[in-house]
Structure 1
């Protein structure tokens, strides 16, 4: 067992992060005790790392625990990459004080980008969730993970690309996936398992290049890519204007009778560049929980 304490510069609202994690019924966390247990893979090895907040949003401080002392540094690198603790949110908070979203950033300071635990898992989840309401989306991902993933000490590891690639469509159809969604999930996993789609290589490309490449994959549209860029890669300048949550949040914030059109949202978002992902997260936050 190893333990490490880390202080983060700037602001970081971990309690909001736990709220977002809690939307997924399979994430092992405790919001009152302020911890989450994270499944990490190092090659074929599976590790569980516990992250607990012991500070405040304005003085973020964390306790990290794991079991394998020899892998401590590699696991800490993964944890830092997920939570993006090297980013100081104070300049971003100051940036938005000069925009129309200033009241929201005053109400919800320190809202961080936190990545999903693995880029492949994030892409599968985003494909499954597209065009579904949140409740049924998580019902499907829960069935998918419980049937094809692995539970270790109460923590779920999602299925690997090779595992998903080996499935036939009926395996997902039996879980209430539509035929098309089953094809999108399995066919995309097959491209990744076969090396035709390299997520690690994609992670090094600019947003526009990733968008151009991934939208050529059947069943992957702009909304899916924008969300994957944000939550799979932690990119800072994404605004999924077609997202119903973003539209509803802006409708509420602007006091309008109807949701703004996505083209109008993109136009609004020009003021929020190069930090549009933080605008998106803060808008979602304004109507969540």
Structure 2
């Protein structure tokens, strides 16, 4: 049976398509790609994945994530991260700073509710402010949390290099654009900029 997360993401994609198809460039991407729907990771797992992904290539991040998850027998919880052996985590590919960040997040999750329900009354900017109070969680990681965990439909994470390069390739023939220019391009995708972002990632990765 499909999970709630998969159903929600599928519905969002279907609702977004009529809006995105009004942009001829995005219409081509909708026809060309089937955006990746993530496994049904829990909130803390997904935040850990974003921390692991920081400043790593997709392939390297995936390899480290798999080793860390295997080390924890697939049970990636605040309690298990806090109890895990430092040397074993380093052997799995985590730097000392990322171990610290994962543990900072673990303690925060033990103290506060970062679930969809717990953050339901927070605006996107308020969620970012709340998450970035945790040492090691920057704006990029917080926006990944908005997009993937909270499934907010209108997130445009311009802190993500692949998103910026993807927009430049698609809309400026690879020429550099300012973030203001990218936001202006993204305005045509509202209120489904999260979905547009998935298509930009899919196109960018297909060209990599």
TM bin (shorter chain): 0.7 to 0.9
Cross-structure match for 2:164? 247
Which structure has greater helix proportion?
A: 2
Equivalent pairs counted in the alignment come to: 204
Residue 46 of structure 2 is aligned to residue 122 of structure 1: yes
| 1:113–1:234 Cα contact (<8 Å) kept | no
Which structure has greater strand proportion?
A: 1
Shift of 1:257: 3.7
Q: Over alpha carbons, which structure has the higher Rg?
A: 1
Q: Considering Cα pairs closer than 8 Å and 6+ residues apart, tell me whether 1 or 2 has the greater RCO.
A: 2
Cross-structure match for 1:267? 184
Q: Distance in 1 between matches of 2:26 and 2:18?
A: 9
Q: Distance in 1 between matches of 2:56 and 2:24?
A: 30
| 2:186–2:193 Cα contact (<8 Å) kept | yes
2:62 to 118, 138, 148: 138
Q: Distance in 1 between matches of 2:191 and 2:119?
A: 20
Give the 5 Å matches for 1:89-238.
89-99=13-23, 101-108=25-32, 111=35, 114=38, 116-148=40-72, 150=73, 157-167=74-84, 169-193=86-110, 195=111, 197-200=112-115, 201-203=118-120, 205-238=122-155
TM-score (norm 2): 0.84
- Structure 2's unaligned 5+ residue stretches are none
- Cα 1:168–1:213 shift into 2, 3 Å: farther
Match of 2:204, SS state, is coil
- Structure 1's unaligned 5+ residue stretches are 1-63, 65-75, 151-156
Shift of 1:259: 4.3
Shift of 1:284: 1.0
Q: Distance in 1 between matches of 2:204 and 2:31?
A: 12
RMSD of aligned residue pairs (Cα, Å)? 2.5
- Cα 1:88–1:215 shift into 2, 3 Å: closer
After the TM superposition, list the runs of 4 or more consecutive aligned residues in structure 1 that deviate by more than 6 angstroms.
Answer: none
TM-score (norm 1): 0.62
Q: Distance in 2 between matches of 1:267 and 1:136?
A: 33
